[in-house]
């Protein structure tokens, strides 16, 4: 659903999948991805924030750490 990044293990980089962006970020870091989305693709960052808000209301038991790793899993896919 949020596969906005494509992770390339061989170079340890995640490339942004938004058309015409072409940016790639080092590693698989949710914070960096969110920072990128917030600065370059504000509409997408807002969608994610809204979806997270819904999730938090549903699941109050998960800690922040878990929440961030879930976010990375949801946002990235392996490059084909």
Question: Which residues bind to Zn ion, rule: CB under 5 A?
Answer: 16, 18, 21, 23, 40
What are the CA-CA distances from residue 55 to residues 43, 58, 60, 75 (Å)?
19, 5, 8, 15
Tell me whether residue 40 or residue 42 sits nearer to Zn ion (CB atom): 40
Q: Where are the beta strands (DSSP E) in the chain?
A: 5-8, 13-16, 24-26, 76-78
Tell me whether residue 21 or residue 51 sits nearer to Zn ion (CB atom): 21
Residue 46, φ and ψ in degrees, nearest 5: -70, -40
| 30 close to 75: Cβ distance less than 8 angstroms | yes
Q: Shortest Cβ distance from residue 39 to Zn ion (Å)?
A: 9
Q: Shortest Cβ distance from residue 66 to Zn ion (Å)?
A: 26
Tell me whether residue 38 or residue 67 sits nearer to Zn ion (CB atom): 38
Q: Shortest Cβ distance from residue 46 to Zn ion (Å)?
A: 15
């Amino acid at each position: 659903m949020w596969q906005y990044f494509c992770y390339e293990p061989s170079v340890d980089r995640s490339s942004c999948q938004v058309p015409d962006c072409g940016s790639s970020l080092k590693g698989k870091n949710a914070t960096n991805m969110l920072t990128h989305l917030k600065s370059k693709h504000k509409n997408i960052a807002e969608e994610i924030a809204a979806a997270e808000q819904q999730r938090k209301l549903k699941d109050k038991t998960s800690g922040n750490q878990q929440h961030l790793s879930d976010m990375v899993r949801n946002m990235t896919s392996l490059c084909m």
